[in-house]
Structure 1
Amino acid sequence: MPSVRSEARLDYYEVLGLDPSQRSLKPEHLKAAYKRSLLTHHPDKQRSERSGHSAPSIDTIALAYKILSTPSLKSVYDQSLAEQNSAQPGSDKVFHTGLDTVDLDDLDLDEASGVWTRSCRCGDDKGFQVTEAELERNVEDGELITGCRGCSLWLRVLFGVGDA
């Protein structure tokens, strides 16, 4: 499972040679950038004298393409970049955002309140919360992404609408 992350030295837009200020990327431009980056950074094309330059790995390039080509993952990634850019200058604070995928059936339903919950690894027993209204807003996608209320982790919840 890819994790959506943003680190000071790792920018998926830069990995693919794209301008991060251009938020709406056409699929054909993104795919061309992906292929260009693969060709540029392929291990067989690297020279030994460039050993001081750390080129992204093929796995990093593939992950960058997956995240930037998947609308929900791109949205979370762009948000983490915005958070990183809004950090105070000179701050050593680095934002790490994790994304796990689960099925709605993996969450606990509190029938009295109509809220599904799941514990988070940060220790919050009900860190992730999903309401019926959120499910209804995302019914066409069959998934929603929600953040933990106690940390920076994210949860993608997959669900289907059954005929009742």
Structure 2
Amino acid sequence: MNPYSLLNVDSGASSADIKTAYHRALLTAHPDKNPQSSQTDVAAIKEAYRILSTPSLRAKSDQEHSKRKGPRPAQVISLTEFDEVEGDDSWVHSCRCGGIYIITGAEMERGLHLVPCTSCSETVWIGYELVEEDS
């Protein structure tokens, strides 16, 4: 199960975006609103939200999904080509479709390099090196 696809959010989604998607998914799967849905759908949605709303579980899930054979990157882009988002510990780069690629400092610390576009199916490999700070 991929909790991001179950809640229909991308891997760079904020906590607020995840919570909104969770409530939207629950309404869609609610038996009174959609008689074709099953209790399993609701249980899976709740589990996806639990994973994505708990930082340690989200990191573990991200790491497990990044180890799987994923999409081949369309291109390699250096982090120096990304724009840093002030006060957000994240970097963005425009995709040719008009969407963006987003990577956070936490994702880089976990060793994430493959990042999908927020709008299309394209994925890029982001090149960077982590620098150890002297204490």
Larger Rg: 1
The normalised TM-score by structure 2 is 0.45
**Which one has the bigger helix percentage?**
2
Q: TM-score, normalised by structure 1?
A: 0.38
* Higher relative contact order structure (alpha carbons within 8 Å, sequence separation ≥ 6): 1
